[in-house]
Amino acid sequence: MGRVFGEIEGVAVGATFADREALHRAGVHRPLQAGISGAAADGADSIVLNEGYEDDIDRGDEIIYTGHGGRDPSTGRQLADQKLTLGNRALAHSMLEGLPVRVIRGPKLKSAFAPPSGYRYDGLYLVDDYWTTTGKSGFQIIQFRLTRYAEDRSAWPQPTAPTAEELKTPSRRSTTVQRIIRSTATANRVKLLHNHACQVCGVRLETPAGPYAEGAHIMPLGMPHSGPDTASNILCLCPNHHVLFDDGAVGVNDDFTLIGVPGRLRTVRRHPVAAEVLRHHRERHGLASKDLP
Ligand SMILES: [Zn+2]
């Protein structure tokens, strides 16, 4: 089963689990020891706050969480610098993609918000910043600020890594239920097909947490257009061209020449773009080719 971002069905905020094994079985936090559950390439789906590291701050709805690495496993003392790798990089990736992180507080946490016993699921948080600083130990540590996310959770993204078969068949529908989301499994697949390079300008944004691009639905998913969440309705764009495309400053002709900027849409064979959705986009924004200077 893939990594689940967001709520776990049947687990309410405030649900308490006897131990790490119970958290693992419920799918709330999979690793039995690690504090961060995640992978650098897909983000962190949950963290456990338990030990109360010297540089952590817990204000309930806002948490300053120190990453992992460089600690003596028996004493928990910091003995070396931390690096933006493994779980730390996964948390950075969650910030990049705006993914929700389940936060669990454990009984050993030195905070007013610690549960009296067991491990309590405290809901979803977003990573909104991270930085490197010198910790109280004198070593470089990586810290993350997580803030509680309390809105409607029905719209959380569920990114999944594409299978080899999915990469071969771009038209295959994702099994993800269609929702109005920022990052669908299909959008992630399209980004991989373009190696995260913008289809308008070719730029691939490199960040310490990995390459960044956005999956732009040509015909929007939401009402009233109700476009499909299929690869042929998605472009891989840099944030600038995503804004310009959504606002109709940039369009694409049937022959893939661009409107509003010079050049042609960059295409790859395994990612065909549907002419009818491009036409729909042009019509929605009054971008008929003949009207252009
Ligand atoms: Zn671009």
Residue 210 Cα to ligand 1 midpoint, Å, equals 17
pLDDT band with cut points at 50, 70 and 90 for residue 173: very low
Tell me the CA distances in angstroms from 191 to 156, 198, 230, 270, one per residue in order. Answer: 19, 9, 13, 12
pLDDT band with cut points at 50, 70 and 90 for residue 161: low
Residue 45's CB is within 10 A of a number of other CB atoms, namely 26
186-204 pLDDT, tens digit per residue, is 898 999 999 999 999 999 9
Cis peptide before 272 (omega within 30 of 0): no
Q: Give the pair of three-digit tokens for residue 22.
A: 């119970």
Amino acid of residue 230: T
Residue 246 Cα to ligand 1 midpoint, Å, equals 13
Residue 154 Cα to ligand 1 midpoint, Å, equals 30
Task: Determine the pLDDT at residue 156.
Answer: 44
pLDDT band with cut points at 50, 70 and 90 for residue 289: low
Residue 221 Cα to ligand 1 midpoint, Å, equals 21
pLDDT band with cut points at 50, 70 and 90 for residue 151: low
pLDDT band with cut points at 50, 70 and 90 for residue 224: confident
Task: Tell how far CA 201 is from the center of its chain.
Answer: 23
pLDDT reading at 239 higher than 90: yes
Helices (H), the chain: 20-26, 86-97, 164-168, 185-193, 239-246, 275-284
Quick one: average pLDDT of 45-72?
A: 92
91-107 pLDDT, tens digit per residue, is 999 998 888 999 999 99
What 3-state DSSP class applies to 259? strand
Residue 27 Cα to ligand 1 midpoint, Å, equals 38
Task: Determine the pLDDT at residue 291.
Answer: 45
What's the CA gap between 276 and 145, in Å, rounded?
43
Task: Determine the pLDDT at residue 116.
Answer: 93
Residue 213 Cα to ligand 1 midpoint, Å, equals 9
Find all residues with CB under 8 Å of 293, minimum gap 6, and list them: none
pTM: 0.76
Task: Determine the pLDDT at residue 172.
Answer: 32
Q: What is the mean pLDDT of the chain?
A: 86
**Pairing between strand 251-252 and 62-66?**
unpaired
Angle at 33 between CA 40 and CA 137, to 5 degrees: 80
Q: Give the pair of three-digit tokens for residue 82.
A: 């931390």
Residue 169's CB is within 10 A of a number of other CB atoms, namely 10
Report the range of poorest mean pLDDT among 7-11, 75-79, 285-289: 285-289
Quick one: average pLDDT of 275-283?
A: 95
Query: Using CA of residue 136, residue 139, residue 140, residue 145, what is the dihedral sign?
Result: negative
Residue 211 Cα to ligand 1 midpoint, Å, equals 13
Residue 287 Cα to ligand 1 midpoint, Å, equals 19
Quick one: average pLDDT of 81-90?
A: 95
Residue 87 Cα to ligand 1 midpoint, Å, equals 30
Is residue 232 a contact partner of residue 273, using CB atoms and an 8 Å limit?
A: yes
Residue 74 Cα to ligand 1 midpoint, Å, equals 49
pLDDT reading at 76 higher than 90: no
What's the CA gap between 57 and 217, in Å, rounded?
39
Residue 165 Cα to ligand 1 midpoint, Å, equals 28
pLDDT reading at 82 higher than 80: yes
Task: Determine the pLDDT at residue 77.
Answer: 86
